[in-house]
Structure 1
Amino acid sequence: MYNNFDEIEFDLQRLNLERQIAIEELKGLKQEVKEDLNPYNWLSTAISLIKKYGILYLIKKILK
């Protein structure tokens, strides 16, 4: 319950700022997702996986 209009205005300003902060956080998340879906990142991940499993495969072949 509000006792006067100043309290209402204060809450409205606070909620507006919280909304603006949430919008900016979403913009940052959008940029992160865009970078994660970049083909270069996929290629570098694939290369690192190939290296990892290639080395393990070679070790298995040597130990057999």
Structure 2
Amino acid sequence: MSALFNFQSLLLVILLVICTATYAHQVAPAIMNRNQHGFMGVFWKAARIGERLSPYVSICCAIMAVSLFLQ
């Protein structure tokens, strides 16, 4: 089953994209800031979400980990 059809898997993919983009922006901010438009702009926006909402993103990651562990 694809992650697009399973809501929990879709949330997991979104959280992983946000966390990965935030980490990549911390390592190489010049690369991320150059690509603010187009397809690569999605990763720039995900990095912004991860930076500004980091407590909420980390809580969501912990909840997702617990829910996957209990399955």
TM-score range for the pair, normalised by the shorter chain length: 0.3 to 0.5
**Which structure is higher in helix share?**
1
TM-score (norm 2): 0.34
TM-score (norm 1): 0.37
Q: Which has the higher contact order (CA 8 A, sep 6+)?
A: 2
Larger Rg: 1
